Amino acid sequence: MTTAAELWARLDNLPRPTLGELFSTQRDGGEGGSEPGNDERVANLSGRIELDEGGILFDWSKTHLDSAVISAFKDLAETMNFAEMRKKLFAGEIVNPTEGRAADHGTLRGTGDEAKVEEAMALIDRMGMLVEAIHQGALGEIEHLIHIGIGGSALGPALGVDALSRDLSYCDVHVVSNIDGVALEEAFARCDPAKTLIAVASKTFTTIETMTNAESALKWLSDNGVSDPGGRVIALTANPEGAVEWGVDETRILPFQESVGGRYSIWSSIGFPIAMAVGMDDFRAFLAGAKAVDAHFRDTDISDNLVVRAAFADLYYARVRGCQTRAVFAYDERLGLFPDYLQQLEMESNGKRVTVDMQPVDGPTAPITWGGVGTDAQHAVFQLLHQGTHLVPVDFIASIAPGDDLDPAHHRILLMNCFAQGAALMAGKKGDDPARNYPGDRPSATILCDDLDAATLGALIAFHEHRTFANAVLLGINPFDQFGVELGKQMAKAIEQGGERFDASTEALLQAAGLSQ
């Protein structure tokens, strides 16, 4: 079988038609032309994933994927045992060898090994019962929830609450992650302590930022007349023993499985604040949307697999075209936090430098994920995308149905701008004046949702989880560990404990801040 290195070399040496050439009708059925023309190209490189209601269109036609590139990537998928790895993921086998763990986030939405799914569904039901009991007043009059967590224990809840609870919220949720007390104080200022619940979300229940913030939240309750602050805490964790030790009553601990990674945990009890805000029916719809994407990713042949196709394009740009970044622009205010969410998912998963066999990788792995919301970003960073010297593959995400009830002009202008940007990046425009010249041939993909409801958000997140996994398999790396974050934590601890000397710059900073021991 051809080796991965040979396939990357093949990809490097393929002809590089421009997007204009790939779209050119002249190639359509022309002599020897192997590439489809306009309509056929769009049909071949876009497809829908259907949800219970509505669905999502994934259009990858404005990328440089062509039949030769796709064929080389399909060979790479074979070399990298892609089908086998995908099977292992869904069978609950160990796909995180450095930590000896499976990656069971799919089970929480009903996908995977039967016994594991059963266990996961029991955990979701337990959360559902608590959410419904709280909504019915079991813990008194609760109007506010301060959700304390960081990284994967905060980014998903913040995104879910922001995206889904603008029109209707059963509970006013504040997600606090930063150890900077300014963040927690801001939440305190917006909540009535007598009507506030605290969710402490931490897979490990040891993360210093979260535990420190949780202590301060308890003190705030007690300082403000709440007689039993501990009775207002809900723990969301894969370490229930740790939560008990910290003082949380077992009845208010919502556990999840150790085999669910932090950045993949939104489906678990870490999603509690989303369920508190939108209700369990919508939370279950969110899980169902993700399950539809699981089915597509698991059961669709590589040729038609929309997730795998996205991963092919990602790797083509990162490895073959040397793109160091990938941008995501949500043309939907409700998805303003989606780029932040993707940053952790993609960069913490695939920002790696060794393969699963502990060999150094022989090329770039994850690009830097960044982005923002349209149309705001057009007036801030799009200059670089159109005329800068970097080639940045862009994803546009939009919803056909509006999220507002104002004059339809708002949504029409939003969508027209989104589509215009993709067209402009691709077409460019030649002019005599170099300053007004647009090179074009700049790739983009468009993810167009029928509507942005709970199921659609679940589907969008699951699509990106699997896209991240597919990238990792094709690169031969483990997307489920994150040892890179440990060193800084150890150094911070060493500074706190004192007695260790650091470099001169760090010592001087510690001294300037009055922190040297």
Query: Which residues are the active-site residues?
Result: 348, 379, 489
Residue 113 C-beta: closest distance to ligand F6P, Å? 24
Tell the smallest beta-carbon distance from residue 478 to ligand F6P (Å). Answer: 14
- Coil, strand or helix: which one is 234? strand
- Residue 458: CB minimum distance to ligand F6P, A: 19
Q: Which is nearer to ligand F6P, 45 or 150 (CB)?
A: 150
Characterize 316-347 residue by residue with b for buried, 16 or more Cβ atoms within 10 angstroms of its Cβ, and e for exposed. Answer: bbbbbeebebbbbbbbbbbbbbbbbbbbbbbb
Tokens of 247: 């003082």
Q: b vs e for 360-386, b when ≥16 Cβ sit within 10 Å of the residue's Cβ?
A: eeeeebbbebbbbbbbebbeebbeebb
**Rounded to an integer, what distance in angstroms lies between the CA atom of residue 221 and that of residue 227?**
8
111 or 268: whose CB is closer to ligand F6P? 268
Cα–Cα distance measured from residue 440 to residue 421, given in angstroms and rounded to the nearest whole number: 11
**Strand 196-201 with 144-148, pairing:** parallel
* Cis status, amide bond into 375, omega within 30 of 0: yes
Q: How far is the CB of 87 from ligand F6P (least distance, A)?
A: 26
| Distance of closest approach, residue 234 Cβ to ligand F6P, in angstroms | 15
Q: How far apart are CA 325 and CA 318, in angstroms?
A: 8
Phi-psi label, residue 452: left if phi above 0, alpha if psi -120 to 50, beta otherwise: beta
C-beta closer to ligand F6P: residue 157 or 428: 157
CA distance 441 to 399: 25
Compare residues 170 and 480 and give the one whose CB is closer to ligand F6P: 480
Q: Which is nearer to ligand F6P, 147 or 411 (CB)?
A: 147
Nearer to ligand F6P among residue 122 and residue 485 (C-beta): 485
> Binding residues for ligand F6P, per CB under 6 A?
150-153, 202-204, 207, 210, 262-263, 348, 482, 485
Q: What distance in Å separates the CA atoms of residue 72 and residue 14, rounded to the nearest whole number?
A: 9
CB of 492 vs ligand F6P, minimal distance in Å: 11
